[in-house]
Amino acid sequence: MQSHDRSRFRSPQPTPRHPLPPEVDPGEATPVLPGLTPEMPFADILAYAGKCDLVLVEGYKREAFPKIEIRRDGAASREKLQGNFPQIVAIASDRPKSEHGSLPVFDLNDVKGIADFVIATVGLKTT
């Protein structure tokens, strides 16, 4: 059994060092850059990614950047991070109607809503 979502996207085959290799359908999967490890310092990940508009990472809750807290019923912990980490800007949950607070709440399956929120939050422009 895989312990994290990120393990679903790991591949034993190296891929080109490119944010989205042409052989990957954007609607199907998001590749993880080869050579990254869960223990890698956040600054090293940013350096490894190079110049780009957006870097999405799992973990690094103590780093100072905007975060979306993920809440799942089946998670090892349902402890809420909101309030302990001021960088949390939204919640994505498998039970969005049961979440309360001042932050925006998204259903985990609302990919478009979450993507639109991220784009607006970081100030990216769509074409």
Residue range 100-123, pLDDT digits in tens:
888 999 999 999 999 999 999 988
Look at 57 and 13; give whichever has higher pLDDT: 57
Same domain? For 108 and 50 the reply is: no
Please state the domain count of the chain. Answer: 2
For residue 63, what are the contacts with CB-CB under 8 A and spacing of at least 6?
42, 87
Distances (CA, A) of 63 to 6, 41, 75, 80, 107: 19, 10, 22, 17, 24
Residue 28 pLDDT greater than 70, yes or no: no
Same domain? For 54 and 100 the reply is: no
Distance CA 99, CA 92 (A): 9
State which residues form the domain around 101.
Answer: 61-127
Regarding pTM above 0.85, the answer is: no
